[in-house]
Structure 1
Amino acid sequence: MAEQTPTDNLSDSWRWKFDFFNTYGQPNSTPAAKAAYRNLSFMAKLRLNSNILAFLFGPIYFFVKGMWRKGLTLLALTVVVAAVGVSLGVSDTIARAIGLGIAALAMSTANYAYYLHVVRGSQSWNPFEGFGRAG
């Protein structure tokens, strides 16, 4: 019986994202990754870097995908930012903008976080793991 890899149960869309991450890493991590990313269509770039379900459901999406540590971190970030906003009496407009910003962070980190979780077995609490400067 052939041994299954962690990506055998995934959809073609996830496999495509994982193949890119396996080959190049994050899109801005190396010159080769930047070049490969530039060659993608607009929709492919959007699919690679964005996750609408993570935008809509935030920490819940991370919990459902098995990344509960990262989900708890995002939830804690959201609660802390909301508490600070309430204590400072920020306007509704600013509070909504901050909420959209946190949702955008979840959306832009979810795909790579899921890749790290499935392929590399990441158990990190950091939802931004792998982002930042390549060293």
Structure 2
Amino acid sequence: MSAPRELSNRWQERFAFYDTYGIPGSTPAARDAYRALPFGQKIMLNSNFLAFLFGPIYFFVKGMWRKGLTLLGMGLAVGVVITVADLSDTWSRLAGFGFAGLALSTANYAYYLHVAKNSSSWNLFEGFGRAR
């Protein structure tokens, strides 16, 4: 399915890649196509800096509230464990950056699945992994 017309050019480029190849690295063809892209295109395809900055809020705003709640729940669970274990602030910062990185790297494909494939999954990692 192609990207809807109301999406920006940047989203349309992402959707075109995902329509053709899926997630970069999921198949040999996807890996080769990804490697052929310029560095800026690779960053644009795999990273979403608004998701990095705003985490679950970004997912909520984009209509992916289930995935946003999953990310929020995972973060709260890890925060409780860090608090109960009385770990240092370093661990809480590492966990915060880890969850921000998770949002950064999953948001684009999650949005593609939400818009193009009408996904309503709670799974942040939906579609990730090697294709069979």
- Post-superposition offset of 1:128: 1.1
Distance across 2 between alignment mates of 1:92 and 1:37 = 37
The question of 1:9 aligning with 2:6 is answered yes
Aligned position for 1:98: 95
Consecutive unaligned residues in structure 1, runs of 5 or more: none
Superposed CA deviations along residues 15-43 of structure 1, whole A, max 9, x for unmatched, are 00000000000101111100000001111
Superposed CA deviations along residues 68-92 of structure 1, whole A, max 9, x for unmatched, are 0000000000100000000001110
- Post-superposition offset of 1:127: 1.1
The question of 1:122 aligning with 2:114 is answered no
Aligned position for 2:38: 41
Residue identity in the other structure for 2:17: F
TM-score by length of 1: 0.94
Distance across 2 between alignment mates of 1:70 and 1:31 = 28
Distance across 2 between alignment mates of 1:122 and 1:72 = 15
Distance across 1 between alignment mates of 2:76 and 2:91 = 15
Alignment of 1:70-89 (within 5 A): 70-89=67-86
> What is the SS of the residue equivalent to 2:121?
coil
Aligned position for 1:110: 107
Flag the 1:6–1:19 CA change in 2: closer, same or farther, 3 A: closer
Aligned position for 1:50: 47
Residue identity in the other structure for 1:21: Y
TM-score by length of 2: 0.96
Distance across 2 between alignment mates of 1:6 and 1:109 = 18
Contact in 1 for aligned 2:3/2:16 (Cα 8 Å): no
Please provide the CA RMSD for this pair: 1.0
Contact in 1 for aligned 2:114/2:120 (Cα 8 Å): yes
